[in-house]
Amino acid sequence: MMTSFFFCPSSHPRSQMSGSRLGAVTQAVWSILLAVSAALAHQWKLGLVGSAFVPLVLVASWCQAKIIASHDNLEKDVLERAAKVGIAVPDGMINVVVSTCL
């Protein structure tokens, strides 16, 4: 059931969870598990302290992803406006050149 969530057709809205995003999530989860396991194996107090900060790291990562996504949307809008201006200027210049030549 869970694999159908990760491997669904590209037209499906849940298809965003595939490829590099799925790899990044998998790597992050295993990194956290390995770090906590190694800390527990080394010294149990260290493992408990390390595992206490896992929720903080997850919340901070989520906030960072939201900020990056909002900046990406802002940058996309700015680039669209710049492209419109960049296309409009040469058209206007061509009209000026044509009108001066006539």
The secondary structure of 24-67 as a DSSP string is HHHHHHHHHHHHHHHHHHH-HHHHHHHHHTHHHHHHHHHHHHHH
Q: Which of 3-7, 22-26, 53-57 has the highest mean pLDDT?
A: 53-57
Distance CA 25, CA 58 (A): 11
The closest alpha carbon to 6, from 24, 29, 17, belongs to 17
What's the rounded mean pLDDT across residues 12-20? 62
pLDDT at position 30 is: 92
Token output for 4: 């159908």
17: pLDDT strictly greater than 50:
yes
Radius of gyration of the chain measured on its C-alpha atoms: 25
pLDDT at position 34 is: 92
28: pLDDT strictly greater than 70:
yes
- 86 or 61: whose pLDDT is higher? 61
